[in-house]
Structure 1
Amino acid sequence: MVVEYFHESLVLLRRLMCWTMEDILYVKRNANEYEEKDKHIEPRLVENFRRHNVPDYVLYYHYNRTLWRKIAAAGDGFWPEVRHFDGVIDSIARFCQASIANATLLIPKSQWNDAVTLHGWYCEKMSKRIYDDLTDIYEAMPGQVIKKPPYVPGC
């Protein structure tokens, strides 16, 4: 997966792993556009970083080339599927921003997915941090003495 091509990577992964569209749905959190980030970094700092992180760049370029080679081999239906997935994720984002607890969102059946109904709690569940999810699981285990994992800031 390459972050700058996240949707393309997810669609390709879905195809390679024989997953459903529902398996790759997500709620975007803490995300910025990379073009915006790059505008604020001085070129000399980028070059300095690149010079001191050669293994990272070698890995990045290898997997970036691999991604594009696999996309090229994916066939004509790949890009329409990515556009469809973009639209589905945009619908989920609008649905979750409305944050109506009892509402539902129907993602209609298409050639790439079966119909999916998302409920308001989906947004809350998908927006939680992993630590919060683990805490809920631990608290749902009555009568068992389980030490909660330590809180790690930023996780």
Structure 2
Amino acid sequence: MNRAGQRVSVSARLLSSMMRGSLLFAHAALLIALGVGWLTSGAAGLANAASGGAMVVLFFAAGQGVQVLAGELDPRAGLGLTLLSYLVRAALLAAALLAVQNSQQVADAFRPVPFCWGVGLVLAGWLSGMFWAHARLRIPVYDTDDVGPDEGSDRV
């Protein structure tokens, strides 16, 4: 049961658990990326590593949140929501990167090495947290569609 008194589905609980693990590991990796950014390029490297890591966390957290919602919908509606979410997130990411590319002030402050460290470490942290959380889940298996042959049936 959630705070509103509604029953929470098994898939929503599983996806939420994986999201918490991903966020935990991603933020730990972000701290490492911030340190690398600071050591390689000072304050500018710190800002670049932070922006790269933040982009990864926002992109994947939004996607995982949509997956929790899509798991509660009809499969076709859930698939449509998931695909639409991905298209919107990819378009927003592209728009942000284009805006950065077209701004001379931001281009002067951009440091590709700390930015890539931020993206790479946080992405590795996100995936590691997801795998870590998934490996520790207890997944109940319910197969209500296949009830098996009736008692006394001739079918084998």
Q: With structure 1 as the length reference, what TM-score do the two structures score?
A: 0.24
Q: Point out which structure has higher relative CO (alpha carbons under 8 A, 6+ apart).
A: 2
More strand as a share of residues: 1
More helix by share: 2
Alignment TM-score, normalising by the size of structure 2: 0.24
Name the larger-Rg structure.
2
